[in-house]
Amino acid sequence: MPMIEYTLTWLESAGVDEAFVFCCAHSHQVKEYLDKSGWAGKAGAGSMSVTAVESHDAISAGDALRVIYERGVIHGDFVLISGDTISNMSLKDALQEHMDRKKKDPLAVMTMILKHSKPSILTHQTRLGNDEIVMAIDPETKELLYYEDRADTSHLYVTIDKDILTNNSTLQLHNDMEDCYIDICSPEVLSLFTDNFDYQHLRRHFVKGLLVDDIMGYKLYTHELRSGYAARIDNFRSYDTVSKDVIQRWTYPMVPDVISNRDCSESRLHRQGIYKASDVTLSHSAQIGASSVVGSATSIGDHCKVLNSVIGEGCKIGKNVLINGSYVWDNVIIEDGCKVSNSLVCDGVHLKAGAIVEPGCVLSFNVEVGKNVVVPAHSKVSLLPQPSNEDSDEELEYADTNSGVTESTPFSSMRSNGDQATVPSEEDESGTSKIGTCGVVGYIWTSGDTGILEEWRQSIAPIPKEKLEELQHAVSEDDGSEDESNNPTLPDKDDSSDIAVEDDDPFSKFEKEVEETFQRALGGGVNRDNLILEINGLRLAYSLQHADCAGAVFYSVMKSALVAAQSTNDTLLKTTAEALGKWKDLLRNYTKTIDEEMEILLKFEEMCQETTKEFSPLFSEILPILYDKDVVSEDAIMRWAEEKEHADESDKVFVKQSEAFIQWLKEAEEEDDEEE
C-alpha cells in the first residue's frame, strides 16, 4: 500500500475538503496512482477532492511553494505536510488554536505540530532514526523561539542568542520533541517563500530565517500532540518503525484491514496481529509469526517461517525460506532455502535458491541474487549506477534528511553461501561496481562519508548489541570523568536575572522514554536482548534507582495491553494476561527485591486511579496474574496489604477489592506452616 494512501485517507477523515498533491520526481507515477485509486477528481458530500500539481523544475520544498503561489491554487490558511506522513490525529484543536491566534496577532503565520519523543541517551537519535532537535518554546504562548536540528551532541550545552533570554522571562528548552512536519500555515507563508528565493528548506532556511529576522516580526508557534499518532518516514529506520507502529495498530484506524487496496483481496486481521489476504496460498507446514502481513495472491511454500515481516502482493516464496524482520514488496520470487533478515526487498526482486540477505540490506527493483550468494549486511543494490555528487540534485524534500549520495566505489565482497568464490565485480565505464550474474545483478551503492560503520544509525536492522554496549560504556565514562572546565559556567542562584528555564519532572521524562523504547521492542525495532541495555542506559542517564525501572517497565507493558484491547475484540483482562506472560522475564529483571515488587503494586494502584482507569475494576483479577507469573511474590502482596491497614479509606480501595485473594494467600501460608 503506497504511503500516500494513508496520508490522503487521514486528511479526508480529519475533515479536509480539498488537497493538492505537489509532485516533481516520478510525477507520472503519482498521477497514475491518484487516477487509478479514485482520488483524482473525487467530489461529493463527505469526499475530499484531490488535484495533482506538477512541476519538473522544483528541486526543493521552497521551489514547490513558489510554484503553488504562482499558480494561485491556495487562497487561505492551509495544512502543509509531506506525502510520507502517517497520522490519525485530529486537526480540529490545532486549527482552532491557529485561527484564534491569528485574530489576536496577524504576524502568527505558522503552527508546527510536535510530539514528545526523547532521543536515546546512547545514540542521540529518536526512535525514527532522526538526530535530536533542540527547541526553545515559550511555555505560556507556545511561541517557538529557537530551533536547531543539527545540534552538536558531543557537548552538554547549547548556545542561545542572549536576545532570546533578554526578551523572554521564561522559556522551556526541549530536546524531547519530535517534529511531525505537519504545519498549519497562513497565506503569508507562500508569499514569504516567493519574496525570499534563498529559502529552499522549510526548517533549515524558512523556520530558522524567521526566528532571526527582527525586521518583519513574523512568529512561529507550536502545538504539542498529546493524543493520536503522527510521524514522517524519511529514512529506513523510520520506515521500519512506523510500519511496525501501523501493524501494532498505534495508528488506528489507519491500519491494513481498514485501508485496503481497491484492486486486491481485502486484508483481514487474525490473532497475534497477523494480517492476511483471503486469497493467500499458505502451506500447512508454513509458519506466520506475530505482527506480520501477507498480501493478496502470494504463495508460501513448505516449512517456511515469516516472522515479524511484511510480504507484498503476488510474491512466490519457495520451501524452507526464513524471512525475519523484513519488508518484501510485490511480485518478488524467493526460491528454496533462502534467508532474509531485517532487510528491504523491492518489487520484482529474484532471490535464487540458497541466497542469504544479511541485516540492513536494500535490494532495489528487479535485482537478481544468484544461487547460494550471501549479500553482506547493509548493502544497497540497484540496477542503476549511483549518481555522483556533481550529477545529482536533491529531490523535493519537505525537510532535511540525514542521508546523502556519493559516488559508487568498486565493491566485490559478495560471497557464496557455500564458502565458494564468486566471479569478481565487473567495472563499467563510469568506474562503478556491477556484480556479475554469478553473484548479484546490480550496482552496489556506497553509504556516504561515514561508510558502512555508521549504517546502523538509519538501518532497518536493529542496532547491534556490540554497538549499544560501546555507546553505554562511553556514556558511563562521560558521567564519571567529565571535566568541569569544559562546561559553561552557570549563573549563581542569587543572580539578579529574572530568566527562568522550566524543566519537567525527571522521572516523568524517564518513564516516557522507557515507554518509547518498549514500543520499539514491540515493533521489533529493538532486539529483546538489547532492551534491558537501553533501559539501563536511560536509568544511568537520569541517575535513578533499579526500583524506578520496575514501575516504568510495568507501566509500558500494561499500556501495551490496553492498546491491544482497544484495537481488537479481545477483553482487557485477556490482553493483559497475554502481555504479562510475554514480558514476565523482562519484569522479573527489575523485581529482584521486595521493595521493587512493591513498586509494581504501587504503580498499578496509581495507574488505576489516574492514567489508565480502565484497569480499575480489574485490579483484583490482575493481581493473581502478577502472582502466578512470579512478577510479585506473596511477601510483597502481604506487605502491601499490611501497610494499607492504617491508611485513609481512599487508599484502601484496591486492597478491599482484592480481599478474597489476600485471604486465600493467608490461608495457604497457614496450611504450609501447619504441614511443616
Tell me which amino acid residue 479 is.
D
Instruction: Supply the mean pLDDT for the chain.
Output: 81
Residue 80 has pLDDT above 60, yes or no: yes
The per-residue pLDDT for range 275-303, each reduced to its tens digit, is: 999 999 999 999 998 889 999 999 999 99
pLDDT(16) > 60: yes
pLDDT attached to residue 502: 40
* Radius of gyration of the CA atoms of the chain, in A: 27
Strand pairing class (373-375; 380-382): unpaired
Q: Is 355 helix (H, G, I), strand (E, B) or coil?
A: coil
Specify the DSSP element, H or E, that contains 242.
helix 236-247
Residue with the larger pLDDT of the pair 127 and 205: 205
**HEC states along 408-476?**
CCCCCCCEECCCCCCCCCEECCCCCEEECCCCEEEEEECCCCCHHHHHHHHCCCCCCHHHHHHHHHHHH
- pLDDT tens digits, one per residue of 218-268: 999 999 998 889 999 989 999 998 998 898 888 988 988 888 665 566 788
CA angle 665, 668, 673 (to 5 degrees): 125
8 A C-beta contact, residue 385 and residue 408: yes
Top-ranked range on mean pLDDT: pick from 206-220, 426-440, 509-523:
206-220
Q: What pTM does this model have?
A: 0.69
Q: Which three cell numbers stand for residue 505?
A: 519532572
Please say if the pLDDT value at position 500 is more than 60: no
Any residues with CB less than 8 A from the CB of 83 and at least 6 apart, and which?
3, 4, 7, 21
460 closest CA partner among 379, 401, 525: 525
Residue labelled with grid coordinates 565487473: 426
Q: Mean per-residue pLDDT for 333-361?
A: 96
| Residues 159-163, mean pLDDT to the nearest whole number | 83
Side-chain half-sphere CA neighbours of 440 within 13 A: 33
Residues contacting 88, CB < 8 A, separation 6+ = 10, 13, 228, 229, 230, 251, 252, 253, 254
Residue of 348, 341, 410, 406 lying closest to 377 (CA atoms) = 341
What pLDDT is stored for residue 407 in this prediction? 36
Enumerate the β-bridge partners of residue 317: 300, 334
All residues at 6 or more sequence positions from 408 whose CB lies less than 8 Å from its CB, including other chains: 385, 386, 430, 431, 432, 433, 443, 444, 445, 446
Q: Which run of H or E residues covers position 623?
A: helix 619-628
Q: Say what the pLDDT of residue 541 is.
A: 74
Could you tell me where the beta strands, DSSP code E, fall in 131-197? 134-137, 144-148, 170-174, 177-185
Give percent of the chain above pLDDT 70: 81
The pLDDT value recorded for residue 653 is 86
| Single-letter residue type at 245 | D
- φ/ψ region of 298 (left if φ > 0, alpha if ψ in -120 to 50, else beta) reads beta
**Contact (Cβ atoms closer than 8 angstroms) between residue 455 and residue 360:** yes
Residue 500 pairs with which residues in a beta bridge?
170
pLDDT-derived band at 69 (thresholds 50, 70, 90) equals very high
Report the range of poorest mean pLDDT among 187-191, 323-327, 475-479: 475-479
- Please tell me the distance from the alpha carbon of residue 218 to that of residue 192, in angstroms, as a whole number: 10
Peptide bond before 410: cis, by omega within 30 degrees of 0? Answer: no
pLDDT band at 668 (very low <50, low <70, confident <90, very high): confident
The listed range with the strongest mean pLDDT (336-345, 502-511, 566-575) is 336-345
Query: Are the CB atoms for 512 and 506 separated by under 8 Å?
Result: no
Segment 539-549 shows an average pLDDT of 77
Burial state string for 646-664 with b = 16 or more CB within 10 A and e = fewer than 16:
eeeeeeeebbebbeebbee
> C-alpha grid cell for residue 225?
500532540
Query: In the prediction, which pLDDT does 546 show?
Result: 74
According to the model, what pLDDT value does residue 78 have? 94
CA-wise closest residue to 539 among 590, 593, 607, 502 = 590
Give the number of residues written for the chain.
Answer: 676
Grid look-up 493481581 returns: 623
Structure confidence at residue 257 (pLDDT): 86
Per DSSP, what are the bridge partners of residue 294? 276, 311
**Cell reading at 388:** 555522483
Look at residue 426 and tell me whether its pLDDT is greater than 50.
no
